[in-house]
Chains A and B, each alone.
Chain A
Amino acid sequence: MNSTEQATERQSAIRRLLDHDITYSFFRSKVTVIAGIVTLIYFIATLFAPIIAPYDPFDLSTVDLLDSQIPPAWMANGDPRFVLGTDDQGRDLFSAILYGSRVSISVGFVSVAFAATLGIFLGLVSGYFGGRIDAVIMRIAEVQLTFPAILIALLIDGVARGVFGELDREQYAFWILAFAIGLSFWVQYARTVRASTLVEKNKEYVQAARVIGIPSLVIMVRHVLPNVLGPVLVIATINLALAIVLEATLSFLGVGVPATQPSLGTLIRIGNNFLFSGEWWIAIFPGLVLAVLVLAVNLLGDWLRDALNPKLR
């Protein structure tokens, strides 16, 4: 294959993508496009946080206590070196927010990945095998569904504190948090995947695969799984927003990531102590950044749900 052929091939692939219903519905709604752009900016900014941020908030040698609690640059007493001002320890708030979003978004992604993997696996097993396994898994799911996610995450965190002890916990805090959040979200995936699997497993291609003796595990992963992933994507997007909020909430409550590695929630928690002494920016800016991020991801999730729903086409 020569290079012109490759180029045309690539072009047609791009055109196919552009012609696709989903792409069309994306560009048709202005709100969705804006939400997409905002989300993209967030991802790029957090990915390249070390390059974009003017200071490294974790490098103690650049932090000067004399710079603490400087208001944003445009206010009286502001300092042009610190666009959004500084916190109580003299850290540049803008840099801290960039690094904080990084922690928030990573916890969000890891916990959603964990919840999705666990939920998809249990949903597939439950739907494909049915019978007693199905009954047990779905009963557990029902019990868990009666409890709000925040309560489950708090309980898991509390138990982890007891098991690991305070020192070890700081070290694993990120993973414990992602695990706690992930574990409180798996039910939705499991129920959705189970429902689609129940439909798919009676279709001819699965029957055919079974007749020629392909092992169940292979059928589930290679044949059924790709056909049940559509709704999972919608849940995952909406869950990402929920997971980010939950992480921020737990960090705000003081049971999330340790203060040495602050997420947006931790920053708000720190800033909350200074709200009454007039240093409002320490809490309000991270809060607004968090709110915009969650709103953008939520809007994307809403769009994806409508775009993938054949009833609304």
Chain B
Amino acid sequence: MITFILRRVMQAFVVMLVVALLAFTMFRYVGDPINQMVGVETSAEQKEALRDRLGLNDPIVEQFFHFIADAAQFDFGVSYQFKQPVSELILTRMPATLELSLVSAFLALAIGIPMGVYTGLKREAWLSKIFLTVSLIGISLPTFFIGILLIFIFSVNLQWLPSFGRGEVVTLWGSWTTGLLTESGLKAIILPSITLGLFQMTLIMRLVRAEMLEVIRTDYIKFARARGLPDRSVHFRHALKNTLVPVITITGLQLGSIIAFAIITETVFQWPGMGLLFLQAVQNVDIPIMAAYLLLTAFLFIIINLVVDILYFVIDPRLRVERSGL
């Protein structure tokens, strides 16, 4: 167990190092950082002095270590377009993205699992067929177009819900802002979270359905039925429980892609999160923000992967026996 975890942590560490190298290469070689920082009238000597002061003339390996040390302390330099520290920019934007991602993930699970169970148990019901058709369409429609359709229906025509922004936000401890405590904030999060969660919802539904179909055929379910247990108990206490291991894994891994897909949703709804910041950075070649976003998301993804791997190990006793037997 401990060797397994240690090995996974080591791997994660190496991956992180590779990503850091990529970010550093981007940072150092795409465009000249000095030209981005100073005005047109700065003389060559001044530029050279600045270069020296920032350590850009140091040996490249040394620079890389500086870069990692700074990044580990959450210092990613100064944004070219905003002239503000990148870490500050990201910190003020992070709550919006995390809030949106978590609400979407919750929606996807809360709707996807019951739909999956239903379509798995009642394969021939017309409602199941509707669910499956809708899920196919949900997978085929690009995220941004779902957002546009929702805006078109609920904001432009029905005028029920706002189409952009976070609504009113209140500040919780420190700099963490939340829109979940105000009415306008709650209204504002509905459309973006549906847009972002729809794909994950269909994915979870299909997964639960497939797993249900498989589990329902097993002997222990037949036995539970033979014992005369009520349907509800068989379906939810025995069958659903055993479908949840892959669901947890996939949801965990999907949390990473939710954060990435938030870029699209945030653009459609002008949601002031990290994704929008990153997109603006790409459009304006604001390398420090790009590098920081790359490092942060990589870190998040790797942590999620690691946790999922370890969870898997903890949840599924079969894995433990096999591994320790080796």
Contact = CB atoms under 8 A, between A and B. Distances in A.
Interface string A133-161: 00000000011001110110011011101
B5 interface: no
A162 B36 CA distance: 12
B97 interface: no
Contact of A291 (B141, B152, B297): B141
Contacts of A284: 148-149, 152
A253 B15 contact: no
A34 to B, nearest CB: 13
Interface in A241-255: 241, 245, 248-249, 252-255
A146 B263 contact: no
A258 B281 CA distance: 18
B140 A143 contact: no
A157 B15 CA distance: 22
A155 B31 CA distance: 15
A43 B215 CA distance: 42
A249 B283 contact: no
A276 B156 contact: yes
A157 B301 contact: no
Contact of B145 (A154, A157, A287, A298): A287
B99 to A, nearest CB: 20
Interface in B229-266: 256-257, 260-261, 263-264
Nearest to B16: A143
A275 B141 contact: no
Nearest to A288: B145
A257 to B, nearest CB: 14
Contacts of B282: 154-155, 157-158, 161, 255
B314 interface: no
A146 B308 CA distance: 13
Interface string A250-281: 00111100000000000010001001100010
A122 interface: no
B283 to A, nearest CB: 6
Interface footprint category on B: 35 or more
B10 interface: no
Interface in A269-313: 272, 275-276, 280, 283-284, 287, 290-291, 294-295, 298-299
Given A158-B290, A162-B287, A298-B139, A143 B15 contact: yes
Interface in B260-279: 260-261, 263-264, 267-268, 278-279
What's the dominant secondary structure at chain B's contact region?
helix
Contacts, number: 111
B142 interface: yes
B264 A155 contact: no
B127 interface: no
Interface string A201-214: 00000000000000
* Chain A interface SS verdict (over half): helix
A51 interface: no
Contacts of B200: none
A280 B281 contact: no
Contacts of A148: 256-257, 260-261
A163 interface: yes
Interface in B111-169: 136-137, 139-145, 148-149, 151-152, 156, 163
With most chain B CB atoms within 10 A of its CB, the pick from A146, A294, A298 is A146
A146 B297 CA distance: 10
Contact of B283 (A151, A241, A254): A254
A249 B142 contact: yes
Contacts of A291: 137, 140-142, 145
Nearest to B141: A291
Given A154-B263, A253-B264, A245 B142 contact: yes
A157 to B, nearest CB: 6
A296 to B, nearest CB: 9
A148 B298 CA distance: 10
B213 to A, nearest CB: 14
B137 A295 contact: yes
Pick the 6 closest A-B CB pairs, nearest first. A162-B30, A158-B282, A295-B140, A148-B260, A287-B145, A148-B257
Given A147-B260, A245-B142, A299-B136, 15 more contacts: A143-B18, A143-B19, A158-B285, A159-B26, A249-B143, A249-B264, A252-B142, A252-B267, A275-B156, A280-B152, A284-B149, A290-B145, A291-B141, A294-B140, A294-B141
Interface of B: 15, 18-19, 26, 30-31, 136-137, 139-145, 148-149, 151-152, 156, 163, 256-257, 260-261, 263-264, 267-268, 278-279, 281-283, 285, 287, 290, 294, 297-298, 301-302, 305
